[in-house]
Amino acid sequence: MTGEEPLDAVDAKLLLALADEPRAPVMALSQRLGLSRNTVQARLGKLERRGALQSFERRIDPAALGYPMSAVITTRVTQRRLEEVADALSRIPEVVEVDGLSGDTDLLVRVVAVDADDLYRIAGQVLASPGVERTSTALVMRRLVGHRLAPLLERSAERPGSPAD
Amino acid sequence: MTGEEPLDAVDAKLLLALADEPRAPVMALSQRLGLSRNTVQARLGKLERRGALQSFERRIDPAALGYPMSAVITTRVTQRRLEEVADALSRIPEVVEVDGLSGDTDLLVRVVAVDADDLYRIAGQVLASPGVERTSTALVMRRLVGHRLAPLLERSAERPGSPAD
DNA sequence: GTTCAGTTGAGCAATCTGCTCAGTGTTGTC
DNA sequence: GACAACACTGAGCAGATTGCTCAACTGAAC
């Protein structure tokens, strides 16, 4: 068991509605879903308590903030120093995301930058972080599919049970 | 010029406040920022119109939806078929993000899955997509630094001018 | 000196919020 | 079948919030 039961169809529909109108008042949502205001409010509260909603920061477009350039830096790290490295990386403001991976590369570091020079500087900082052995920087030239979850939400919204049955 | 001027300090503060309380009413935001309600409303409207706020879907935690497993699949693609491949990938619901990269690997594909079997299946679908030559799947074992933008926002909130001066 | 965008404070009717309560299924259990 | 647990519903209420518009003020640019 995952500890929390996965969301049900109603939750999925609620999230879809929110995806469409993020700042929609509860009233609008309840009408849209054909549920009572009470229910929607309870569901929303449960979603938040459950931690199903991540930080609002994820919605902010770095480009609009003045960082139009984005890159992924795959890094190889001295074993057993992952924590330390992650900590060092988190101190670089332009590092927006770090994932620990299995396989050849240990870390996937996502950074944003103002321009090419800026990116060069940041990549240097990543490489200079204690514990980092080797890095490889790849520019994000184009966002082919923006982060989306709607397809999975729609699946959940239709089926009653768990996502994969 | 980027086409749109970057956000200013007020915008950054507004976004920071929203990051703290995503569903805060405009009134609360205006009090918090020491600005008039009118101004906050105007700013918010401008942010949305400008496209500075991305889809709400980004805030939804796939794990809560029932997809606790995440992986990045780097793929090599037949040249000139990027569009086609991206289109094919976008039809796989579990593909949540696709970036076109410079360098050795052409595509960075982020997928979520219910479990290891599911991931195996999805990786197979990615590889089977027309135009995909080779793939390499790496499991996201741990999120070291969750997607965040606050450090950059705070920088913008303090300095009056552009993000890097 | 004038124009212009951004901000402010005020006002208004309509709506929304947070909260509580009791009633109504729908389940699952013994 | 009886019963408890649970989610959903409809209703109510005081108070806050929204969307909108207006006129006035500020600072900067020209």
Task: Say which CATH architecture domain B63-139 belongs to.
Answer: 2-Layer Sandwich (3.30)
The answer to whether B147 faces chain A, any CB pair under 8 Å, is yes
Q: What is the CATH number of domain B1-53?
A: 1.10.10.10
pLDDT of residue B2: 39
Q: Is B6 helix (H, G, I), strand (E, B) or coil?
A: coil
| Helix runs in A60-145, H state only | 62-65, 82-90, 116-128
Range name among A84-98, A110-124, B77-91, B127-141 with the lowest pLDDT average: B77-91
pLDDT of residue A161: 52
Question: Could you give the CA distance from residue A113 to residue A92 in angstroms, rounded to a whole number?
Answer: 11
Q: Cβ of B6 and A72 within 8 Å?
A: no
Q: Which residue of B has its CA nearest to A44?
A: B23
Predicted confidence band at B3 (pLDDT cuts at 50, 70, 90)? very low
Q: What is the pLDDT of residues B35-76, one digit of tens each?
A: 999 999 999 999 998 889 999 999 999 999 999 999 999 999
pLDDT of residue B34: 93
pLDDT at B138 over 80: yes
Question: Could you give the CA distance from residue A95 to residue A70 in angstroms, rounded to a whole number?
Answer: 10
What residues of B are in contact with residue A138 (Cβ under 8 Å)?
101-105, 108
Tell me the shortest Cα–Cα distance from A34 to chain B, in angstroms.
21
Q: Cβ of B54 and A51 within 8 Å?
A: no
Q: Percent of chain B scored above 70 by pLDDT?
A: 92
Domain ranges of chain A: 1-53, 62-139
* Fold annotation for A62-139: Alpha-Beta Plaits (3.30.70)
pLDDT tens per residue across all 165 residues of chain A: 334 566 889 999 999 999 999 989 999 999 999 999 999 999 999 998 888 999 999 999 999 999 999 999 999 999 788 889 999 999 999 999 999 999 989 999 999 999 999 999 999 999 999 999 999 999 999 999 999 999 999 999 886 555 544
Nearest one of A145, A22, A14, A144 to B65, comparing CA atoms: A14
Q: Chain-wide mean pLDDT for chain B?
A: 91
